[in-house]
């Protein structure tokens, strides 16, 4: 990202990664590294971050990193089915 932004003037990045925030610490490190390197870029995550794998700190870091669009993936709602597929989504929190 740094090379593309500084050497080629790229201003916007789309993360086409439906598990961008599966590893919460990795996602935070990416978002922390952008302002740390003084990159003036914008981010989009259009495919959807995991609705059960983010917290307030990640949202703050995403904003600081230039994120202006995210989709939140909510695959299923009933707790019975969430348990079956290994999700831990709090529907009220996601809303």
- pLDDT tens digits, one per residue of 26-73: 999 999 999 999 999 999 999 878 777 888 999 999 999 999 999 887
- The long-range contacts involving 17-25, CB below 8 angstroms and separated by at least 24 positions, are 17/45, 17/47, 18/47, 18/48, 18/50, 18/73, 19/50, 20/45, 20/49, 20/50, 21/49, 21/50, 21/53, 21/54, 21/58, 22/50, 22/53, 24/53, 24/54, 24/55, 24/58
> How high is the pLDDT of residue 95?
67
């Amino acid at each position: 990202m740094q090379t593309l932004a500084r050497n080629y003037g790229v201003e916007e990045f789309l993360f086409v990664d439906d598990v961008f925030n599966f590893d919460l610490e990795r996602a935070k490190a990416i978002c922390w590294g952008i302002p740390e390197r003084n990159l003036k870029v914008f981010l989009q995550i259009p495919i959807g971050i995991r609705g059960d794998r983010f917290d307030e700190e990640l949202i703050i870091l995403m904003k600081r990193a230039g994120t202006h669009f995210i989709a939140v993936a909510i695959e299923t709602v009933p707790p019975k089915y969430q348990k079956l597929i290994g999700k831990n989504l709090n529907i009220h929190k996601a809303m």
